[in-house]
Structure 1
Amino acid sequence: MEQRLKMARIWLANPSTAHQWTHGIGGVLLYDDILDVRFYFDASEMFELKLCSSDVTYLNMIAVMETQGFSEALLDQHQFREALLNLHITQERNFRYHRNSDQRIIVECNQKNCNFFMVATVIKGETTFVIKKMRIKHTCPTSTETTRVSAKWLAQKYESLFRSDLTTGIQTLIDACMEKYGVDVPKSMAYRAKNIAIDAVLGDHKKQYPRLKDYAQTVMDTNPGSRVVVITVTSTPTEKIPHPGPRFHAMFYCINGAREGFLKGCRPFIGVDGCFIKLTTGAQLLAATGRDGNNNIYPLAFGIVGQEDTPNWCWFLHQLKICLGGEEGQFGPYTIMSDRQKGLLNAVNAVFPKCNQRFCLRHIYANFQNAGFRGEDLKKCMDNAAYAYSEHKFNIAMNDLRAECQEAWEWLCQIPKKTWQGMHLTQTARLTL
């Protein structure tokens, strides 16, 4: 296609009746003084688009090739209608169907004096549509007052926006359509388009749950040694539902490659935390990550549960403990860092009692601020105390904090030093900072 497009431009700049290709595989015939073009793309050239016996000039042929939609295969009438719609929205014009059937489509411009028309029919014995005749150039002025832009079309064109960011606002959609196509989209249409695009990106979540066990088995078949656990529960029978089926309860996911890489090449550090899954089901995601030799985050295991509480954390950490083979690796006991969430602390103490616990300094400082202790001076004192590796430097930092604010010093002293202060860490835990 690119070579023929380049050739068409050359012929347009240097018109001659001598230009012709003989018939053969993908034969193309160019002839006569008015530069009438008859061209046919054979299937052997990997093109399913067949444009034959067309009354098209070189200029129109270039326009056809460059127009989005017509440069690809027109598999059937649906793809032809879609390409026709894209063409007219891009050109800020409108069209009407003179005839619209599965076998033959004839379209013309909405303006009476415009020369645009197109005739397309299906090839006998196939579903491929062929453009028989057309004048693709409009002679009418552009207009965006009567446009064929719809919510469905907007959703298809800007689906990529919502794939990258589901929180994309409708104003962004309206501005993008105005900038690219010159069409002022109503807010109601933008809302509908956003909902259609989000449904296409996320799909129906509830319909995916019955396939989780199939997915788990596929992971274990393709990644031997992986651990994927899916737990279901059965509700109590009621009058309305006498025979309830199994319902999803929790899922644990750890690929063998990630597990082996953590055990053999990562530091003995595990960070655990949870977050909400922004889906219609309202589940929560539990995650366990490590630190590699470059201090980068190393994904280790994930879990999906209904809520972040002690029983669910205990179940998740128990599955993680099975994957790791115990509470110690080849470099010694693991150091587990968390955000001081009560349910998580209880679960760590129950499942990993021999492991060192660390609290995330960022979360401690956030709680410190929420308690009413704000300011750069207080933060500097806390940082100096946290990163002090000698008793002398630690005491200096704490005395400075006490001099700044007695209440802040008392609040910080309530947190065990061994969970956040570098001086009280073991040698193995220090290596994991």
Structure 2
Amino acid sequence: MAGKKVIVICQSSGEFETDEDGLLSYKGGDAHAMEIDDQMTYIDFKMEVAEMFNCNPSTMSTKYFLPGNKKTLITISNDKDLKRMIKFHGDSSTTDIYVMTEEVVVADVSNMPASRSSRTTLSEAGILVDAPPSVADDVVDDTTQPDLLLDATFDVIDDTTHVDAQIDIPPEMPCLLSFVGSNDEKHVKAAQLWQNNITGVGQRFNSVHEFREALRKYAIAHQFAFRYKKNDSHRVTVKCKADGCPWRIHASRLSTTQLICIKKMNPAHTCEGAVVTTGHQATRSWVAGIIKDKLKVFPNYKPKDIVNDIKQEYGIQLNYFQAWRGKEIAKEQLQGSYKEAYSQLPVFCEKIMETNPGSLSTFTTKDDCSFHRLFVSFHASLYGFQQGCRPLLFLDGIPLKSKYQGILLTATAADGDDGVFPVAFAVVDTESADNWRWFLLQLKTALSTCRCITFVADREKGLRESIVDIFQNEDVYHGYCLRYLSEQLIRDLKGQFSHEVKRLMVEDFYAAAYASRPEGFQRCVESIKSISLEAYNWVMQSEPVHWANSFFQGARYNHMMSNFGEVFYSWAADAHELPITQMVDAIRGKIMELIYTRRADSNQWLRRLTPMTEEKLEKERLKVRPLQVLISTGNRFEVRGDSNEVVDVDHCDCSCKGWQLTGLPCCHAIAVIGCLGRNPYDYCARYFTADSYRLTYTESVHPVPNVDMPEQDSSQGAVTVTPPPTRRPPGRPTTKKIGSQEIVKRQLQCSKCKGTGHNKSTCKELLSGC
């Protein structure tokens, strides 16, 4: 069905009729044709249909019949519904769609009867298009034009209020229609402060923009709508929107100055103000100015809350898109321009390395000077990793939901208390082999002197080849991420397996990876083989030497997943809406705070090891009592318990492999160390000591000064950076949590006692009751 196109016959303004057999047929109305395919989104489809019939998308619904069924109408309300409709009609060249508009009753107008779909209710009116370029004060950038607001007239018949489409729109002048339906005193309490914004002839303003803003607030306060007759950079003439109303104002520039002065004004209204016209000049720039202060305090201020607040405070009914656009402008005013942020990158990178000596901050552009990649690693992170962390790096990438999208590539480490320690990160356009290779090259340069490092990362996206190639002369190991491997295993299985069977295979796969000895690994893969020979072959061909504990040659300290840096990802999620320089600086601030907090906390520790390590060691100590140690004259000892193990104290080795896998003495090793009268602390890897932990957080990340504007010097050939060509797609971003979750085993629950860990057949309460 991929690529299948269907011609859709869209019909509206007709009526459904039912015959004797209960079959529906559609009579009358208008019909239009359009072509769609399975790549079209529901939002695009809905907007095209709304434009086709010149109706409001928010009050429009689309329905269709299933092939062979003329009794039930099926609603299209999201992307899945649209794709199903195309699939259901895959064998037909055309299909019929029925477009209906639904009327929503205004909250403060009671007893409003249902009306024809061609009538538009007070609260739902609103059509979005661009405004004329003459309104210069609302132009945000070269591609954004402001919204004009015109009013509508009312017909009052039998206490029922309707809005008629009697709107006088000049040719070539698209506009935004918005209406309010209440003059309640509490709704206009904030606007009352603006009633004297316009005082009369002779009043001066510093600019045309200032005059327009004052006029807009004045109109809102006095509840009337106006229309521009002239509107340019040096003169503005405005009249009341109501036909025949004499209210008029004219202002123009004072010669040889930039001041704007009101030259003529007729302040009298004969249109009875809001009773006749209730449209207001609520442009998106006005909305931005109103909400900016609140947005500064509440960054997650939602458009729907903006709509409610504006209605309560000013009596103006915005639609969702007006509020959203106003919020976007307010964010740009508070945070700065996305476009300017890219142009600031050259200076920003220099400032990072200047204020944090020993750091590496670099970027690249494409041939057209558009942004390509940015790499950042602070000296404090590099020093902390090399001096106090285990030689273990987790590589992962997460998508950014910013205006220009992109991917955040991260390299994180584990400190001595198993906390996330950020080492380096990069912002790139896509998660590709080329970008990962570039990231690893920068990382190697930043680390300067490499020691034996184990990377935990996906084997795809070119990482397997890049790690080997870039660190070919180093003692480096690549541990495949179990999360990505298990996901790929499920994707590659071609058999029809149930969810339960797939879950069992993944559990066996994890158990095989964590098994410390080859015989344990073999038992687990044989369990997979009993379910699916195909899955077994896949596992055996997936290079277990890179992911199974029993064969892996490097030191992973039992860390098997690359998404270790969940805390780091949450920082990016909180800052992804910011311009790129501010996003990086927000992450820098989080790293600075993290280092300071952990340094202060560790200074209070009184034990030799970190708190988490102390807990792990104590758990192993509790297992020592039933163990029996056979004394030997050499350095190898036999320990008997549930199994017989051989411990080599001098080489920190136990046949159970627990000591080697974690870097901490296992219970067998602790038993032998106790018999020798020695201290188990002396046999823990140095990375788990409190001293090493404090060494990790010795250096600080320093603040980076604000970069207001790029330092451009054409004589020296300054680098120009422009935004990448990618843009955020339309529609609301997904709210799916960043980072995949580990496979969680389903816990049994008893249907009798509701307890966990057993079922009804083994319930002790049931047996005792008998």
**Same fold? TM cut 0.5:** yes
Contact 2:219 2:225 survives alignment (8 Å): yes
Is 1:366 equivalent to 2:487 in the alignment? yes
Q: CA deviation at 1:314?
A: 3.0
Change in CA separation of 1:177 and 1:92 when aligned onto 2, cut-off 3 Å: farther
Where does structure 1 lack aligned partners over 5 or more consecutive residues?
1-62, 69-74, 97-109, 111-126, 128-139, 236-244
Q: CA deviation at 1:430?
A: 2.7
Matches within 5 A, 1:54-65: none
Q: CA deviation at 1:415?
A: 0.9
Contact 1:228 1:254 survives alignment (8 Å): yes
Q: CA deviation at 1:335?
A: 0.8
| SS of alignment partner, residue 273 of structure 1 | strand
Q: CA deviation at 1:249?
A: 5.1
CA distance in 1, matches of 2:276, 2:519: 78
Q: Give the corresponding residue for 2:29.
A: none
Is 1:424 equivalent to 2:572 in the alignment? no
Is 1:338 equivalent to 2:338 in the alignment? no
Is 1:255 equivalent to 2:378 in the alignment? yes
Change in CA separation of 1:218 and 1:386 when aligned onto 2, cut-off 3 Å: same
Q: Give the corresponding residue for 2:448.
A: 325
Q: Give the corresponding residue for 1:177.
A: 307
| SS of alignment partner, residue 550 of structure 2 | helix
Contact 2:393 2:411 survives alignment (8 Å): yes
Is 1:394 equivalent to 2:521 in the alignment? yes
CA distance in 1, matches of 2:530, 2:206: 80
Higher relative contact order (CA 8 A, sep 6+): 2
Change in CA separation of 1:93 and 1:268 when aligned onto 2, cut-off 3 Å: farther
CA distance in 2, matches of 1:91, 1:359: 68
Is 1:294 equivalent to 2:424 in the alignment? no
- TM-score with structure 1 length normalisation? 0.58
Is 1:383 equivalent to 2:510 in the alignment? yes
Q: Give the corresponding residue for 2:470.
A: 351
Q: Give the corresponding residue for 1:203.
A: 337
Deviations 1:378-410 (A, max 9, x none): 222122112221233222211211112221111
Q: CA deviation at 1:176?
A: 4.0
Q: CA deviation at 1:177?
A: 0.9
User: Runs (4+) of structure 1 moved beyond 6 Å?
Assistant: 75-96, 140-144
CA distance in 2, matches of 1:92, 1:408: 71
Change in CA separation of 1:248 and 1:214 when aligned onto 2, cut-off 3 Å: same
Contact 2:477 2:554 survives alignment (8 Å): no
CA distance in 1, matches of 2:558, 2:512: 18
Q: CA deviation at 1:317?
A: 1.4
Q: CA deviation at 1:349?
A: 0.8
Change in CA separation of 1:81 and 1:250 when aligned onto 2, cut-off 3 Å: closer
Matches within 5 A, 1:67-106: none
Q: What code does the residue aligned with 1:214 have?
A: V
Q: Give the corresponding residue for 2:388.
A: 265
Match of 2:359 among 226, 235, 254: 226
Match of 1:217 among 323, 326, 350: 350
Contact 2:394 2:456 survives alignment (8 Å): yes
CA distance in 1, matches of 2:413, 2:352: 22
Q: CA deviation at 1:231?
A: 4.0
Comparing 278-287 with 362-371, greater Cα deviation is found at: 278-287
Q: What code does the residue aligned with 1:251 have?
A: L
Change in CA separation of 1:154 and 1:142 when aligned onto 2, cut-off 3 Å: farther
Q: CA deviation at 1:312?
A: 3.8
CA distance in 2, matches of 1:90, 1:180: 13
Change in CA separation of 1:85 and 1:297 when aligned onto 2, cut-off 3 Å: farther
Matches within 5 A, 1:72-151: 145-151=278-284
Q: CA deviation at 1:152?
A: 1.9
Q: What code does the residue aligned with 2:529 have?
A: R
Larger % of helix: which? 1
Match of 1:407 among 504, 512, 534: 534
CA distance in 2, matches of 1:153, 1:322: 49
CA distance in 2, matches of 1:310, 1:156: 45
Q: CA deviation at 1:223?
A: 0.6
CA distance in 2, matches of 1:316, 1:302: 8
Aligned length: 342
Match of 1:313 among 436, 452, 476: 436
